[in-house]
Amino acid sequence: MMRTRPLKVALLGCGVVGSEVARIMTTHADDLAQRIGAPVELAGVAVRRPSKVREGIPAELVTTDATALVKRGDIDVVVEVIGGIEPARSLITAAFEHGASVVSANKALLAQDGAALHAVAEEHGRDLYYEAAVAGAIPLIRPLRESLAGDKVNRVLGIVNGTTNFILDKMDSTGAGYQEALDEATALGYAEADPTADVEGFDAAAKAAILAGIAFHTRVRLDDVYREGMAEVTAADFRSAKEMGCTIKLLAICERAADGGSVTARVHPAMIPLSHPLASVRGAYNAVFVESDAAGQLMFYGPGAGGSPTASAVLGDLVAVCRNRLNGATGPGESAYAALPVSPMGEVVTRYHISLDVADKPGVLAQVATVFAEHGVSIDTVRQQGKDGEASLVVVTHRASDASLSGTVEALRKLDTVRGVASIMRVEGE
């Protein structure tokens, strides 16, 4: 039986995502009511610029006083799409304290203070949902914390930033340099005027922290995630990757140690075999590869950003939270019972592709091989090309720790025959 009294929703932010959330709530109102079991009513919209015309949103709903809106007491659900740490953190906390559940798309806040927000939500018996914070429209958080709740997830490997994937895909397919590809991404609207959060890996690192926490039932904060940007990736790196049957992606990688005693979370460019499903993810799309004991290998693919895709995830959470509200229940909260330590990057083991500029004379390869052996790093393949007294030496290792590889590179730089280290890149996805 349909309840006639509507559930009231406060919307914080009415930009690209917020305006789309409001539009879908209005145009799909009848369907949403049937799915939830009660109507949902947009009761207020907090914005910074009230004078701006917002199609479909009555002017009397618009306010600049977000704090007063979330403290009204008659609000059932607060949808937060303003981003950033403050005032979002204070507003979400106030919403819980005044009886509302929260749906958020705020990856930065959740990666930094997710545990504290979950604690406040639990204290007040309210929901905190955030499917839209990680991969736009791609259902990922709910499968990890509900569909795979009875399984053991060992690895989450993914492309979680559409801007960086567009840039690297353009470099791969056209041979363009990094700056040229970035300029095109900016012109097409894929990259912000200041692309730092994307290209330096901050956006992906926040998402990795959230994914690792859910997958491994362990609190993982943004500071726990190793981060490396992609500005140093060159057209020469792509040529080397192609010679190995690989391409290059900016990956978020969350792994459980082989002995199960710790986890790691990292974001960096990596070569990945063309045979791996992630290698075929093109343009601004996202994809996440999940490996678990019972389910095996799963892949989630789709648009990871944009107004409509992100709003789709927000509305999915809104329906779930409203259903819980009607039933007097709450959904899954934070699961951090495992409390596994997060290992530093130096302990991470992977393969490496190292390109060296060396003197073109006898004995160089032997010297380089000796340095690798002295640091316990096993060489898989070596390729050397030389001309006019100079040469390039490409070494691909077997699996080695980041710390041992760092020691190897430091020792290589001290060799008189090594002119420089042109590039170092990890090889993933085997």
CB 396 within 8 A of CB 244: yes
Dihedral sign computed on CA atoms, order 82, 88, 92, 98: negative
Q: Angle, to 10 degrees, between the axis of helix 107-123 and the axis of helix 88-97?
A: 20
Beta strands of 229-363 (E only): which ranges?
Answer: 246-256, 263-273, 285-292, 296-303, 349-359
Report the distance separating Cα 32 and Cα 34, nearest Å: 5
Residues 6+ apart with CB under 8 A from 372: 378, 379, 395, 397, 408
Report the distance separating Cα 50 and Cα 351, nearest Å: 53
What is the identity of the amino acid at 373?
A
In 3-state terms, what secondary structure has residue 291? strand
Residue 208: name the closest of 304, 103, 287, 134 by CA. Answer: 134
Spell out the SS3 assignment of 370-393.
HHHHHCCCCEEEEEEEEECCEEEE
CB 335 within 8 A of CB 399: no
Report the distance separating Cα 369 and Cα 355, nearest Å: 13
CB 64 within 8 A of CB 51: no
In 3-state terms, what secondary structure has residue 329? coil
DSSP assignment of 223-238, as one string? Answer: GGSEE--STT--HHHH
Question: Which residue has 């709903």 as its token pair?
Answer: 61
What is the identity of the amino acid at 425?
M
CB 193 within 8 A of CB 279: no
Angle formed at CA 11 by CA 82 and CA 208, multiple of 5 degrees: 45
Q: Which class for 421: exposed (0-12), middle (13-18), buried (19 or more C-beta within 10 A)?
A: middle
Q: Which of 8, 107, 207, 249 is catalytic?
A: 207
Is 361 among the catalytic positions?
no
What is the identity of the amino acid at 393?
L
What residues are labeled active site? 207
